[in-house]
Amino acid sequence: MTRNVDINANGMVDNADSKILNAAFGCVQGNSCYNPRADLNADGTVDSNDNATLNAYFSAPDFLPDYTISSSAVFVSVPYATTVNVTISLTSVNGFSGTVALTTADFRMGLLAPYSELDATLSSPSVILTSGSTATVTLSLYSVVAATHTLVVTGTSGAFSNTIIITVNTHNCNSRFNNCPF
């Protein structure tokens, strides 16, 4: 299995793809810096083999069907006990059509309490894309505990997975009783 060498799916194997690969260089599956799209030969490590593949196709146009995933916000502040909605958009590139399954994974940093929880709920577990179309789902975020979360939303369709990372700051200040700074 190999990934799309046009890592950012902008239609060309270019410097932007090199930058993405370099940012994940040396990272292995399980590291937070590991980027599956930069692991072009899908062996679990982003290394010189992947770089060689990218260089071999440098400046080549991308005609592989794929899709992009984006978010209405990549930094989200969630007030105490308040639901904040973010729109996740998936767009067909190069004629892609198919079903994309969506999942969320939460990596917590700066945890203030061991029982800290972030409710991250998608309005649909999958979307169906037709050629050239864009589909959206709503990501609802809710928490009552202060923490910084690194939320990874992953779309998977066959061999192609695309991710977007959203940083979510949750707060424990209850504005009913306090003057909260957010």
Tokens found for residue 150: 């690194």
Site membership for Ca ion, residue 39 (CB under 5 A): yes
Asked if residue 41 binds Ca ion (CB under 5 A), the reply is yes
Residue 50 contacts Ca ion per CB under 5 A: yes
Part of the chain binding Ca ion (CB under 5 A), chosen from 28-36, 46-54, 93-101, 115-123? 46-54
Decide: is 126 part of the binding site for Ca ion (CB under 5 A).
Answer: no
How many chain residues are in contact with Ca ion, going by CB under 5 A? Answer: 11
Verify binding: residue 117, Ca ion, rule CB under 5 A.
no
Out of 3, 4, 14, 35, the residue judged to bind Ca ion by CB under 5 A:
14
Output 91 or 172, the one with its CB closest to Ca ion.
Answer: 91
> In the structure, how many helices (H) and strands (E) does the chain have?
2, 9
Nearest residue (CB) to Ca ion, 45 versus 92: 45
Q: Strand locations in the chain, DSSP E?
A: 66-71, 75-78, 84-93, 98-109, 119-122, 126-129, 134-142, 147-157, 160-170
**Which ranges of 2-76 would DSSP assign to H, the alpha helix?**
15-23, 48-56
Contact 139, 90 (CB under 8 A): no
Q: How far is the CB of 157 from Ca ion (least distance, A)?
A: 19
**Residue with structure tokens 């399954």?**
101
The residues that touch Ca ion, with contacts defined as CB under 5 A, are: 6, 8, 10, 14, 16-17, 39, 41, 43, 45, 50
